[in-house]
C-alpha cells in the first residue's frame, strides 16, 4: 500500500493551491544492483486528483519522475471545506488513495 500521500490544500488569494508528496521509490528499471542485476521497474503510472468526487486532473507518469514524487497544481475555484482526493496506481498494481480538505 505504501505510505500515505501528504496533501496540502490551501486557498491563497482566492485560488486553491494543491501540493502533494507521494511516497514511492520510482525505480526506473534501468539501475543495476551491486552484483550487476537489473533492479526491476517499480513506479507510479497513474495519478488522479478529484475535487468533491469529480475527477479534475488525471496523469500518466513514466519512470523519470523523481523518487517520492512531488506535484503542485492550482484549482482556481476550490473553496474552504472542499474535499480533494488523490489516488495513484503503480506498474505492479499497487495503489493508494488519500484525502484532504481545503482550508
Residues making contact with other proteins (CB under 8 A): 28, 30-31, 45-46, 48-49, 51, 54-67, 69-77, 87, 89, 92-95, 97
Nearest residue to 50 via CA among 84, 17, 81: 84
CB of 45 to other proteins, least distance (A): 7
Strand order in 83-90's β-sheet?
Answer: 44-51, 83-90, 95-101
- Choose between 7 and 61: whose C-beta lies nearer to other proteins: 61
- Choose between 3 and 74: whose C-beta lies nearer to other proteins: 74
Amino acid at each position: 500500500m505504501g505510505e500515505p500521500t501528504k496533501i496540502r490544500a490551501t486557498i491563497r488569494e482566492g485560488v486553491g493551491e494543491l501540493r502533494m508528496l507521494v511516497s514511492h521509490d520510482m525505480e526506473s528499471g534501468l539501475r543495476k544492483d551491486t552484483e550487476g542485476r537489473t533492479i526491476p521497474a517499480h513506479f507510479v503510472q497513474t495519478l488522479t486528483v478529484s475535487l468533491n468526487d469529480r475527477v479534475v486532473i488525471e496523469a500518466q507518469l513514466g519512470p523519470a519522475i523523481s523518487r517520492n514524487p512531488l506535484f503542485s497544481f492550482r484549482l482556481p475555484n476550490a473553496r474552504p471545506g472542499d474535499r480533494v482526493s488523490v489516488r495513484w496506481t503503480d506498474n505492479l498494481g499497487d495503489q493508494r488513495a488519500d484525502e484532504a480538505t481545503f482550508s
